[in-house]
Amino acid sequence: MGEDSRLTAVVALAQGMAAAQSTREAWRAAALGGCLALGGSFAALSVWERELGRLRVLVNVGERAEGEEEFPEDESYPVHQFAEITEFLHERWAGGGEPDAWVETAEGPAAGRPGYVHQRVAALRRRGRGCCVVAPIVLHGRAWGELYVARPVGERVFERADADFATVLASVVAAGIAQT
C-alpha cells in the first residue's frame, strides 16, 4: 500500500469515527477502518478491563468465524493469557516509550520462547486465520485496549511495516475514542 492510500485510509478511519452517532458505531467504525486500512479480512476492537483482569471484545467486523458476534455480550479473555499486555504495561509504557504493534502468525509467535504456543496463535488456528497484527490503544497515557486485524490462511502475512502502520491507526482510534 502506497503512502497516498495509507493517508487516505487514516483519514477515512478518523472520519468514520467522527461521523458515528453512538459509542457502538464508533467502535465499529474503528474496527472496520483498521481492517480496511490494513487489508485484513477480520478485525476486533477490545478494551482492557483492569479491575476484572480481562480483555473484553467490544466489536468484531469482517469475516467472522462461527460463534463470533458483531457486538458480543461477553467475549472476553483473561489478561494472564496475553502476557504481552502485562509486559508492555510494565516494561515499555512505564519507561515512557510508546507501545508498538506486533505481528503473530498461525505458525507461532513472531518473537518468543521456542515451543511456546501463545493464546493468540491457538485462536488464529482455531478460526482459520493465518496471521494478525495487534496494536495497543493508549488513552491518556494508559493502556485502553487493542485493535486486532487478521488475514486468512494463505494470504500475505503482515510485515513490520504493517505493524508500524497499525500503531498509527491505533493512535487515530485512541483520539476518536477520546472524542466519543
Domain range annotation of the chain: 3-179
114-133 tens-digit pLDDT:
444 467 777 888 898 999 99
Q: What is the mean pLDDT of the chain?
A: 85
Q: In whole angstroms, give the CA distance from residue 176 to residue 153.
A: 31
Instruction: Give the model's pLDDT for residue 143.
Output: 83
**Distances in whole angstroms, Cα of residue 11 to Cα of each of 23, 69, 137, 152, 168:** 19, 27, 18, 26, 12
Q: Give the residues of the chain that fall short of pLDDT 50.
A: 90-95, 111-117
Fold observed for domain 3-179? Beta-Lactamase (3.30.450)
Asked whether the beta carbons of 37 and 169 are under 8 A apart, the reply is yes
Instruction: Give the model's pLDDT for residue 108.
Output: 66
Dmax over CA atoms of the chain, in Å, equals 46
How many other β-carbons are positioned within 10 Å of the β-carbon of residue 111?
Answer: 9
132-165 tens-digit pLDDT:
999 999 888 888 999 999 999 999 999 999 999 9
Instruction: Give the model's pLDDT for residue 83.
Output: 60
